[in-house]
Amino acid sequence: MEPVLSLAYATLFYYIIQKTSFFRIDGISHKLLSLAFAIKLVCAVLLSLVFSHFYTNRLTADTFKFFDDSKIMFSVLHEHPTWFFRMLTGIDDKAPYLLPYYDEMHNWYNKAVIFNDYRFQIRFNAFLHFFSLGYYYVHAVIYCFLSFIGLTALLKLFIIYLPHYKRVLYACTYFMPSVLFWGSGLLKDSLIFFATGMSLYCLHQFVSEKKIRSLLLFIIFLLFLMLIKFHNFILLVPLYAAFALSSIIKRYYIAIFGIITVVYYFVLLQMNVVLPGYGLMELLSRKQAEFIDLANSYQAQSVIPIHELKDSEWSAIRNTPQALSHVFFRPYFWESKKPLIVLAGIENLLIVFLALFTIFSFRLKNLQITPLLLLSFIYTLSLFEMIGLVTPVMGAIVRYKIQALPFLLFFFACLSDKSLLTERFRFLKKIV
């Protein structure tokens, strides 16, 4: 039954891609979009197989552990429907009679959480049981489609700003290896792509068309992002504000982004004055310590040394070069024999080559500063720095940074002059 139902949902989503106006992109055919979705489905299955055969502990495998806990929550529906909806919604969910179910789960009480909400993931999977009949691969197909929606929303925005790079943006948005692998299956990364892409797309629609519907959808997707990945939400809030304001004013882009970002981070750094223990640097230093302890307790194989992060701004500034170099360049493809690390190293090398192509095809006089370019640059830089400051595990670095990779490659494309690029690198003429 599981293969049949999974195939049925995949077929339904394929039909939606073919028939829905959201998936109509000038210059990108339905066949190309369907191909991208099909490849993502293959990667979703591949991810499950990798975790099934090489990382066999379901209690620590993200793709299984929240799904398994959601089964426990959903089982309550058949015995006590009211109890289930309390657990699902969080309304009066601390009642004593619910404790035995929470105790049976392995992740409900987990406090060593790095930038995510375990309970929301359990609840979301429990909700999907209404549609999946409890089959893992149906959940994986749904996650894959949600990720595809988010990435398609980003692609539509990228093409609005760079219509002459449609094929390049199509490839860069869907087909970066780590984005395909980690961003297609039953992992929170798929939901982050969905929430990020749709919130930004709806914000752009609201600014362009001034429709209340777009504003309401933007708020819904932004709240969804807050629940699934709080630190992405924190990083994007000021950038969304600057994006909206600069898109309305249509000038002073750099000044608007600069002022809003500086003021926002100044407030975060001084938050401990109002809420002791909740200043930005205090939170980051604690997160680093938690992550190091977690890596040691799980005996992570790809640990790399990082400088201790203290709760001071100077400590973050001093550690920034190491943080950015780790996220941009590690792992090197030669420093591990594990296939996933080797592939990640090759991808990093590819990014370096793309950066070099960008440098050699850059023309300052042809550079157009746009709100999306500035958002992409600041978001990538801030996310990469935060990851590098607190993360001592290469495997985690590879996975966490995928959220910014489409924005990074869009930024590269913005800096590249197409005529100069094809003039200096003639073999790229047919590609771009």
Tell me the residue ranges of DSSP E strands in 152-274. Answer: none
> Could you tell me which of 94, 179, 95, 117 has the C-alpha nearest to residue 409?
179
Residue 112 has pLDDT above 80, yes or no: no
Residue 115 has pLDDT above 50, yes or no: no
Is there a single domain that holds both residue 339 and residue 404? yes
Please name the helix (run of DSSP H) or strand (run of DSSP E) that holds residue 304, with its range, or none.
none
**DSSP per-residue letters across 370-392:** -HHHHHHHHHHHHHHHHHHHH--
Rounded (5°) CA angle 121-403-54? 65
pLDDT tens digits along 187-205: 999 999 999 999 999 999 9
pLDDT tens digits along 201-259: 999 999 999 899 999 999 999 999 999 999 999 999 999 999 999 999 998 999 999 99
pLDDT of residue 111: 59
The domain tally of the chain equals 2
- Answer yes or no: is 206 within a domain: no
Tell me the residue ranges of DSSP E strands in 261-415. Answer: none
Is there a single domain that holds both residue 13 and residue 110? yes
Instruction: Give the residue-averaged pLDDT of 346-359.
Output: 93
- Answer yes or no: is 396 within a domain: yes
Strand partners, 396: none
- Answer yes or no: is 212 within a domain: no
Backbone region of residue 338 per phi and psi (left: phi > 0; alpha: psi in -120 to 50; beta: other values): beta
Residue 113 has pLDDT above 60, yes or no: no
Is there a single domain that holds both residue 266 and residue 161? no
Is there a single domain that holds both residue 190 and residue 301? no
Percent of all residues in the chain with a pLDDT value above 70, rounded to a whole number: 98
Residue 114 has pLDDT above 60, yes or no: no
**Using CA atoms, how far apart are residues 142 and 147, in angstroms rounded to an integer?**
9
Task: Share the mean pLDDT of the chain.
Answer: 91
Is there a single domain that holds both residue 194 and residue 277? no
Is there a single domain that holds both residue 185 and residue 265? no
CB < 8 Å & 24+ apart, contacts of 4-12: 5/132, 5/133, 5/135, 5/138, 6/135, 6/137, 6/138, 6/140, 6/141, 9/138, 9/141, 9/142, 9/145, 10/41, 10/141
- Answer yes or no: is 230 within a domain: no
Query: Which has the higher per-residue pLDDT, 122 or 427?
Result: 122
> Could you tell me which of 49, 10, 20 has the C-alpha nearest to residue 144?
10
**Using CA atoms, how far apart are residues 284 and 272, in angstroms rounded to an integer?**
13
What lies within 8 Å, CB to CB, of 41 at 6+ separation is 10, 141, 144, 184
- Quote the domain boundaries for residue 64: 1-200
Is there a single domain that holds both residue 4 and residue 141? yes
Is there a single domain that holds both residue 352 and residue 286? yes
Is there a single domain that holds both residue 53 and residue 129? yes
pLDDT tens digits along 152-162: 999 999 999 99
pLDDT tens digits along 129-176: 999 999 999 999 999 999 999 999 999 999 999 999 999 999 999 999
Is there a single domain that holds both residue 183 and residue 258? no
- Answer yes or no: is 169 within a domain: yes
